Amino acid sequence: MTATTPAPTALRTVDSHCPYCALQCGQRLRPTTDGVEVAPREWPTSGGGMCQKGWTSASVLTAPGRLVTPWIRPAKGAPLQPVSWDAALTRVADGIREVQAAHGHDAVAVFGGGGLTNEKAYTLGKWTRTVLRSRSIDYNGRFCMSSAAAAANRQLGMDRGLPFPLTDVAGAQAVLLLGSNLAETMPPAVGHLTGARGAGGLVVVDPRRSVTAELTDDGAGVHLDPVPGTDIVVLLALIHVVLAEGLADEDYLTARTTGLEDLRRSASRWWPERAEQVCGVPAGRLRAVARTLAVAAPGHGGAGAYILTGRGVEQSSHGTDTVTAAIDLALLLGLVGRRGSGYGAITGQGNGQGGREHGQKADQLPGYRSIEDPAARAHVAAVWGVDPDDLPGKGPAAIALLRSLGEEGGPRALLVHGANVRVSVPGATDVDRRLAALDLLVVADVVMSETAQAADVVLPVTQWAEEEGTMTNLDGRVIRRRRAVQPPAGVRTELEVWAELADRLGSGVRIETEASAVFDELARASAGGVADYSGIDHARLDAGEVLHWPCPATGVGQAAHPGTPRPFADGFPTPDGRARLLPVTWRPASDDRRPGAPVRLLTGRVLAHYQSGAQTRRVPELEEAAGAPFVEIHPTHAAEIGVAEGDLVRLAGAHGEAVAQARVSDRVRPGEVFMAFHWSGEGQANRLIGDAVDPVSSMPELKLAAVTVTRVGAR
């Protein structure tokens, strides 16, 4: 369902960044007659390196499945047909009017993505709330950073994934890495662990023996492999040891925190021997890790320690509490806001940080402001030229929004930008049913993703090397994305699409189409907010300035603000300037193993693919490296159920089933299996995941489910 894709029209060699993860590795893009040549360049987060996804990133620009014309489904059940842009946008505008006339403004929903540039994320939020006047907007970052964001906001007063440059980590004596397989998801980042590995202080917490866990071999550190769903118990035990053995930084706690006594009472119940009975990690190892971290902490004269969390502990129905315990531990050791030490959450998506700051979240306005704050509404409405009373209120978070599609009182139309919900959302079978019930599904994408295949209208849009804009990487640095080539004829930017739809819908709101103009407006809208970008513009970034937010505008005649690489150095943006120690409790996972479903399914990623795989599965080199879904199963477990390497196995649980090839491996334990979530179809891991969510962050429990495993047949 795609036309032949011509080679992009050449422009010039430019310095830009990889389109994939939040490391945003530095790239030099050189247009050629066949496409774009990609080479790495020196960059702080990547050290001049790239992973195989970065090396092959230009392949998607000219992939055989590249979308270069709009498509319309003339009737339900009919195949998609190529049409003109005029016909496609007429269909979209007419559909929006019809749905809203019959069901109200909120009946048209929008779903965004953490890969959109800051300019597009900002415009999408503005467009939804001013042109559609709908509160029904959220994005796929809800499945990425929401638990870490919720915990950081309530304890530290600010959510910035890493509140320090990633390069700071390289000098640490100890690093506690929870739920992150950096060696496969962000390989260049492993270089920042060298100091901790050299000191024997790398601690990797992961129930699976991942490639990252193997970095602790040969005296480089320790791998803790807790029972899945019990990472919080590991942290509570470490907190207990720090307090019981007098390892806490008492001076720091007195000067910079509140809540110590409540935490002390709560942690007293989690002595290591009790924790071992729940999490399976020996008590002696828990004590040793707590001491390793304490010795490295600045309060004890150490060279520095970091506590870093990732999706493995955050994508859980108690993810916010787990991150809260991690922050508690970091505060007890006096790490947060101290140069050379700290707590941070490793952002995953390319613009996972910036994408959650400027308005595509259900509860948010630009600058990381609450949409329920009257002052914030007044400020942003003034920038947008609308009445604050006309702005809609807080909408449902991602899972609740998607669960309501097609239901009585729920959205009847959905516009998807930068996401592939049919693969990335838990309960995939139910998602398909809800999408099919819509009156209108519109998908803007660069390839015919699984979600686009189900759409009524598909709009071909630009991708990374064809557009201008900015991204915000995992440590809060705002960086420039630069156009190296013109997009194929027939492809438009989403900024242009939203502007034309605004005109067709009769909106009087101005939607800018030039990225630099959008950023200037974003800067004004963010002014005074937690994520203040008002002192940044494309010109400063183009001049090579290193700018981490917050970076507020300064007065006439004053020097420009230099940005804030370490925002907690002098205090916390809380009402009293102190961080909050908060007690938390452990509760079992929502879908743990039980009679009838005796096997724990763990989910995660592989090196070759990214997110839903919509782009990387179209790159021949990456498909050759990891071309088919698989199930890792321990040799003992495989022998018990008669499974050999390459056999097809069926996983079945309360929410669905999947079939994939067996990969017999000791990376998992008997009674546990692992699947990567990059594939669709019968090998789709998210078919097996339920829709339980964290009560604070609305993060789905994506990492764990109870299943049965049976052999289907030979390879």
Q: How confident is the model at residue 9 (pLDDT cuts 50, 70, 90)?
A: low
Q: Where are the CATH 2.20.25.90 domain residues in the chain? A: 9-62
Lowest mean pLDDT among 8-22, 440-454, 569-583: 8-22
Q: Where are the CATH 2.40.40.20 domain residues in the chain? A: 599-713
- Structure-block tokens of residue 52: 């195989």
pLDDT, residue 1, reads: 41
Rounded CA gap, 193 and 171, in Å? 8
pLDDT, residue 6, reads: 44
For the chain, the average pLDDT equals: 95
**Interval 110-115 mean pLDDT:** 96
For the stretch 571-607, pLDDT in tens is: 999 999 999 999 999 999 888 889 999 999 999 999 9
**Interval 675-693 mean pLDDT:** 92
Contacts of 128 (CB under 8 A, 6+ apart): 110, 134, 136, 137, 360
Written out in words, the top-level CATH class of the domain with range 146-345 is: alpha beta
pLDDT higher than 60, residue 7:
no
Rounded CA gap, 657 and 709, in Å? 10
- Structure-block tokens of residue 503: 């005109």
Q: Which CATH number fits domain 71-143+351-541: 3.40.50.1970, 3.40.50.740, 1.10.287.370, 3.40.250.10?
A: 3.40.50.740
pLDDT higher than 70, residue 710:
yes
pLDDT higher than 70, residue 2:
no
For the stretch 332-386, pLDDT in tens is: 999 999 999 999 999 989 999 999 999 999 999 999 999 999 999 999 999 999 9
- Structure-block tokens of residue 232: 């919080």
**Interval 488-495 mean pLDDT:** 96
For the stretch 50-90, pLDDT in tens is: 999 999 999 999 988 899 999 999 999 999 999 999 999 99
Rounded CA gap, 396 and 376, in Å? 19
What CATH code is assigned to 9-62?
Answer: 2.20.25.90
The DSSP string of 59-112 is GGGG-TTB--S-EE-SSTTSPPEE--HHHHHHHHHHHHHHHHHHH-GGGEEEEE
pLDDT, residue 37, reads: 94
pLDDT higher than 50, residue 392:
yes
What CATH code is assigned to 599-713?
Answer: 2.40.40.20
pLDDT, residue 3, reads: 37
pLDDT, residue 486, reads: 92
